[in-house]
Structure 1
Amino acid sequence: MSHAPVYIEIDGRPAADPELIATLQSAYGHFTAMQVRHGGVRGLGLHLDRLDGASRELFGTGVDKDHVRALMRQALRAAGRAEAAVRVYMYEGTAMVTVREPFAFDDAPQALKSVPYQRPAAHLKHLGGFGQTYHREAVRREGFDEALLTAPDGTVSEGAVTNIAFWDGASVRWPDAPALHGVTMALLEPLLGSVRGPVTLADVPSFRAAFVTNSRGIAPVSRIDETVLPGDERLMARVREAYASVEWETL
């Protein structure tokens, strides 16, 4: 049985490619986000592995990594940028690359508010993240910088768009809970000799410091809910030094 083609208008005008736009409207897909500096990306191989693994899980087939790299180079050239924030979105049979102004944490301490929410299929950087965006925007209106996602029993998993690590004075601990293991986390984890283990909101006062990571970089955490963390400049210097040692891989 044949189906009529999709018809779409945008601001009262027919869309140039309705079939493509209909595909992009689907929430069934995944993406990766990275910072590009002078044609290089930290953890590029990990980003490509992420796209390949998620595509195999969602669509049953991997991606041509060389083709994805070529698409990113093409988009950067077309945008006239050597430095940018780049995202690669994967749908079944369709890849989309976006290029924006580069982003970076300004190193200001982050205030986090816990919310009882965990992402479905948390190991994937999938589309349709309404829940995490809803909670992040809600806590920002209350004066916080980021939402800390937790299970009903208070187990900490991840931030809305970040990973979080805790410091007890002896070791760096990443929560061992369902979460997206971000590329920056994956790069830092072995360099810091860190561990994974359970962390609950009740444990937070026992930690001296915490920091968050994502494609924008690293930022210290100043407080979680009403608990103020003393912080540790030596720790943050160590974390920054480790991150700075990661080589930029050429696109």
Structure 2
Amino acid sequence: MTPILHIDGEPATAEALAPVILSNYGAFTSMQVEDGAVRGLDMHLDRLAQEALALFGRAVPEARMRERMRTAVEGLEGRHSLRVQLFLETITHRTPDALGVPSVLTVVSAPANPLCDPLRLQTQDYAREAPELKHNATFGLTRARRTAKAASFDDALFVGADGAVSEGSIWNIGFVEDGRIVWPKAPMLRGVGQRLLENGLGLVGLDSETRVIDRAALAGLRQAFICNSATPACPVGNIDGRSLDMDPALIDRLQAAWASNAPQPI
């Protein structure tokens, strides 16, 4: 489908989009809409509020944010992808200190199908700027993925300057050790997909822990998966050419944990 763009509830014009195109200062969240509802909607809304406070000094009231989102998907049925992006027209290179309630850009597009084929990951020494925020500065992420694909991998797994594994380009990674989920401890974005999994692990008989995973520890881990708001769980087939074990039954349990979070109406 052709993407549908709105800014503050009105169809986006070229003039209104100019500040978005000319500056990458902003933040966003992406979600999958199922008949007007979203799994983890409360988490997405909380993310947007925290990002707005951090970047613009003021947040969009939740009622207004929901209204913008409802306008974006009005009249649409089935599944769609929805990106909600925040920007402030008065913030420019000459006026970087401007404050205010940000404008809301919504983009509705075709649904993102979950990844399912085992991924081949290449570790790369990289860390996102302000990793706790899902911000617009994605040059480094795209470059990392291009580098990985040029080397016959599917994607990049980031390792920070301290040697700790953190996250991937657009996803979190989890490892499996003795039937337990192990999340990396490092500066990163704790994604909505990861949080949805955490919410449901107990229902499928799994628990988890978070700890530092350096390259030496990484070499000893035999099973891994990735997750984000579009992919509940996708197995990792190898890292840096080292084959990993895969357990389809475990992936099924993780997907069931994710699905235990009911969609929340916008």
Q: Same fold (TM over 0.5)?
A: yes
> What amino acid sits opposite 2:52 in the alignment?
S
Provide runs of 4+ in structure 1 moved above 4 Å. Answer: none
Map of 1:52 onto structure 2? 49
**Whole-angstrom distance in 1 between the partners of 2:16 and 2:261:** 41
The equivalences for 1:14-53 within 5 A come to 18=15, 20-53=17-50
Moved more, 198-207 or 124-133: 198-207
Map of 2:92 onto structure 1? none
Map of 1:8 onto structure 2? none
- Residues 154 and 202 in structure 1, CA contact (< 8 A), matched pair in contact too: no
How far is the alpha carbon of 1:24 from its aligned partner?
4.2
Map of 1:213 onto structure 2? 227
- Residues 81 and 112 in structure 2, CA contact (< 8 A), matched pair in contact too: yes
**Whole-angstrom distance in 2 between the partners of 1:249 and 1:213:** 20
Give SS of 2:189's match. coil
**Whole-angstrom distance in 1 between the partners of 2:104 and 2:21:** 10
Give SS of 1:173's match. strand
Paired positions, count: 236
TM-score normalised by length of structure 1: 0.88
The equivalences for 1:224-235 within 5 A come to 224-235=239-250
Unaligned runs of 5+ in 2: 1-11, 89-101, 202-206
How far is the alpha carbon of 1:116 from its aligned partner?
0.6
> What amino acid sits opposite 2:247 in the alignment?
D
> What amino acid sits opposite 2:86 in the alignment?
M
Moved more, 130-139 or 22-31: 22-31
Spell out, residue by residue over 1:110-166, the C-alpha distance to the aligned partner (whole angstroms, 9 max, x if none): 111111100011000001111111111221232222110111343100001110000
> What amino acid sits opposite 1:74 in the alignment?
T
Percent identity over the alignment is: 36
Moved more, 122-131 or 57-66: 57-66
How far is the alpha carbon of 1:235 from its aligned partner?
2.0
Spell out, residue by residue over 1:24-79, the C-alpha distance to the aligned partner (whole angstroms, 9 max, x if none): 4211110000011111101000000000011011111112122222212212226x
RMSD: 1.8
Unaligned runs of 5+ in 1: 1-14
Give SS of 2:128's match. coil
- Residues 120 and 241 in structure 2, CA contact (< 8 A), matched pair in contact too: no
Give SS of 1:149's match. strand
Map of 2:257 onto structure 1? 242
TM-score normalised by length of structure 2: 0.83
- Residues 135 and 147 in structure 1, CA contact (< 8 A), matched pair in contact too: yes
Map of 2:94 onto structure 1? none
